[in-house]
Chains A and B, each alone.
Chain A
């Protein structure tokens, strides 16, 4: 158990719908990352937050958005869903400081499996 929690574990929805994925980082971790794992794209970085502020964006679609709340949990919102959005969505967290000399491990949650029908 990494200490990162994600809900829900599974999500089945229809095209055109909107869903929200939730992530709670490990206690004390300030950075949260979202990754998408699909069959054709592999593991892709979507977005990073640090202490409530966006820090980096990857190939995240405009239909997708995220935020990190004051209690440090994060939500990933996916709207106007398409069949191709079906994937495993991971949240990861790390301490977010340079105490470890820059070598920070990202700990992954169990993922949310999204199926768009």
Chain B
């Protein structure tokens, strides 16, 4: 079974600064997907960024980027130019590759990192 570990329960960053959230995972699979979801106080789960394990290039979405180290099974999220609206819980998640339509494809989540953004 796959596991996802987020070792930082809380992080704090000043507005306009950069912060990196850590995530490690354990799997015996070679092909899979990794995701970062954001959960603001509204509790809505919002996809931030996703990475395909077979792609060496790190994914980037505006101010959000990842550092994907497959051999180390590490998937960190970097938030640049932090904004007050970035304050939220951030969850790292793992999913096996789907080969067939309708295949079992659950997300396995880490325990989350609460990010505070200060002025």
A-side residues, CB < 8 A to B, are 2, 30-31, 33, 35, 42-43, 45, 48, 50-51, 53, 55-56, 58, 88, 90, 92, 94, 96-98, 102-108, 110-111, 113
Contact = CB atoms under 8 A, between A and B. Distances in A.
A105 B102 contact: no
21 contacts: A35-B107, A43-B107, A43-B109, A43-B112, A45-B107, A50-B101, A50-B102, A56-B104, A56-B105, A92-B45, A98-B99, A98-B100, A103-B33, A103-B52, A104-B98, A105-B50, A107-B47, A108-B37, A108-B45, A108-B46, A111-B44
Given A103-B50, A110-B44, A94 B105 contact: yes
A53 B99 CA distance: 17
B97 interface: yes
For A31, A56, A106, A113, which residue has the most chain B Cβ atoms within 10 angstroms? A106
Interface in B81-118: 91, 95, 97-112
DSSP class of A's interface residues: helix, strand, loop or mixed?
strand
DSSP class of B's interface residues: helix, strand, loop or mixed?
loop
A30 B103 CA distance: 11
B91 A43 contact: yes
Contact of A58 (B100, B106, B112): B106
Given A96-B101, A102-B98, A110 B43 contact: yes
Interface of B: 33, 35, 37, 42-47, 50, 52, 91, 95, 97-112
For A33, A45, A55, A102, which residue has the most chain B Cβ atoms within 10 angstroms? A102
B106 A56 contact: yes
Contacts of B43: 88, 110-111, 113
A16 B116 CA distance: 39
Nearest to A47: B106
A6 B6 CA distance: 28
Contacts of B101: 30, 50, 96-98
